[in-house]
Chains A and B, each alone.
Chain A
């Protein structure tokens, strides 16, 4: 059986995906999960992906945003925000 990656490793891979997509396109949590399943195959499962997303959000490295649907993005100053 393949050695499963840890939630921290999954979080790191997801963070890199979000970072690379920043400014180009928005990624939904499910997009990240699907990308990770494609990248790591049977070395990752949905539970690990779930934990990885939680890790990213609770550490503040990524934030949830809402634009019609919910996305995960790097923290940034909101375009619509009023100072």
Chain B
């Protein structure tokens, strides 16, 4: 079968260099997979013609679910019959991406039998991505996946599969149990995950600390990022140890502190925690000397997205400090109120961040019953949800009283 590989001079360029290459992986799979052989031929043709040959979207899926399968057909089925159908299956990953090898083998066995054998571990959504199968294989794949304990993930206008960093399972900086929250939200929002009913996609991403290893602040509609509200724990002896080993604290720590909250006199590191931004920079540079505080929780942010229809947005603070305690009823109630107004007033393909921009954060907060507070304001006097009217009325009243 390997002799039948089509010539791919353009794709071969993508195998050069020290980094992993998806082309090498497809070529490896092509030794035993006709779909992978045709995929190589089709991709080479796309590179030559500078035209994509996929038709995306449509009707394919499994009975009862509105997400989890992304339909894809090739527009050259006669020339590349083995990729004429090349649907993607999104499988809900376990929180933190922990697997036993046995589970991975079972997934791969299913996919080699019923699909192209090509996988993407993991997609940007966090799901296990199984690339390339035929329409008539979808129901058997779904049945076999559920039999080994896996379910499909989200796609389309629904809650996308919630994802998280590995949190307290391995990371000493985790300020809350990201995996527990992710698992709970996944179970609680099964209906919203499998039956799309929103104006557009909705993503939850959980990071255990402000390092934000899942980049939730840049791409999740709801970012839940671990933080603390007491003081950074300092071991002054360990700080001195760093200096003895050549660390220039002034240059490499103090100068990069966004809150300018640290002072170093050559013997002692002083931190004004009231102006600390919880950015983690100092802790990352001196992990043996500094630790997050003990009163930990999370900041809940809303509204980020990557550029698709409109430009990119970063999340805004919605709840500055939240204690994630199971069963997280307060968060779920808040989500209900957010979805209610977004479903009611949101335009087709309008992400929640764009919706908030359109209606104004002040109106949005009022509708979902959240009080505006200073922690939501990135730059004083720039945000449209500072209600100056109240102050103006008060000022007028005071002026009136003075006159009398």
A interface with B by C-beta (< 8 Å): 28-30, 33, 50, 53-54, 57-58, 60, 63-70, 73, 75-76, 78-82
A53: which B residues are within 8 A, CB to CB?
A: 195, 197
Q: Cβ of B177 < 8 Å from any Cβ of A?
A: no
Cross-chain contact of B71 among A54, A58, A66, A76 (Cβ < 8 A) = A66
Is the beta-carbon distance between A78 and B156 smaller than 8 angstroms?
no
Is there contact, CB below 8 Å, between A80 and B58? yes
CB-based contact B349/A70 at 8 Å: no
- Is B348 a contact of A70 with CB atoms below 8 Å? no
Contact A28 B348 (CB under 8 A): yes
CB contact list, B47-85 vs A, under 8 A: 55, 57-61, 63-67, 70-71, 73-74, 77, 84-85
Nearest residue in A to B70 (C-beta to C-beta)?
A66
The complex places the Cα of A35 from the Cα of B71 at a distance, in Å, of 29
Give the distance in Å from the alpha carbon of A82 to the alpha carbon of B80 in the complex: 11
Q: How far is the CA of A20 from the CA of B137 in the complex (A)?
A: 32
Measured in the bound complex, the distance between the Cα atoms of B135 and A33 in whole Å is: 30
Residues of B within 8 A of A76 (CB): 59
B66 adjacent to A78 (CB under 8 Å): no
Chain A residue with the shortest CB-CB distance to B54: A80
Could you tell me if A30 and B343 are in contact, using CB atoms closer than 8 angstroms?
Answer: yes
Residue of B nearest to A77 (CB): B59
Interface string of B178-206 (1 = CB under 8 A from A): 00000000000001000111111000000
Find out whether the CB atom of A66 lies under 8 angstroms from the CB atom of B156. Answer: yes
Given the known A-B contacts A66-B57, A69-B348, are A28 and B157 also in contact in the complex, defined by CB atoms under 8 Å?
A: yes
Report if A69-B200 is in contact (Cβ < 8 Å); known contacts: A64-B61, A80-B55, A81-B58.
Answer: yes
C-alpha gap A64/B69 in the complex (Å): 11
Q: How far is the CA of A78 from the CA of B61 in the complex (A)?
A: 12
Q: Name the A residues within 8 Å of B73 (CB-CB).
A: 80-82
**Size of interface on B: residues with Cβ below 8 Å to A:** 33
Question: In this assembly, does B127 line the interface, its C-beta being within 8 Å of a C-beta of chain A?
Answer: no
- B156 CB to nearest A CB, Å: 4
Question: A78 and B59: CB pair below 8 A?
Answer: yes
Interface flag for B155 (CB, 8 Å)? yes
Q: By the criterion CB–CB under 8 Å, are A82 and B84 in contact?
A: yes
Query: Complex formed: what's the CA distance from A22 to B197 in Å?
Result: 19
- B135 and A64 contact, CB distance less than 8 A: no
6 smallest A-B Cβ distances: which pairs?
A: A64-B66, A70-B196, A70-B156, A82-B84, A82-B77, A70-B157
Report yes or no: A69 in contact with B63, Cβ–Cβ below 8 A: no
Evaluate contact between A69 and B71: CB separation under 8 angstroms.
Answer: no
A66: chain B residues at CB < 8 Å are 57-58, 70-71, 155-156
> B212 at interface (Cβ–Cβ under 8 A)?
no
| Assembly CA distance A76 to B199 (angstroms) | 23
- Minimum C-beta distance from A30 to chain B (A): 5
- The answer to whether A67 touches B58 (Cβ under 8 A) is yes
| Nearest CB on A from B226, distance (A) | 32
* Contact A82 B85, beta carbon cutoff 8 Å: yes
Contact A78 B65 (CB under 8 A): no
Q: How far is the CA of A53 from the CA of B191 in the complex (A)?
A: 11
Expressed in whole angstroms, the Cα–Cα distance for A69 and B308 within the complex equals 13
A29 touches B197 (CB 8 A): yes
Given A50-B197, A65-B58, A65-B59, verify A70-B64 contact (CB < 8 Å).
no
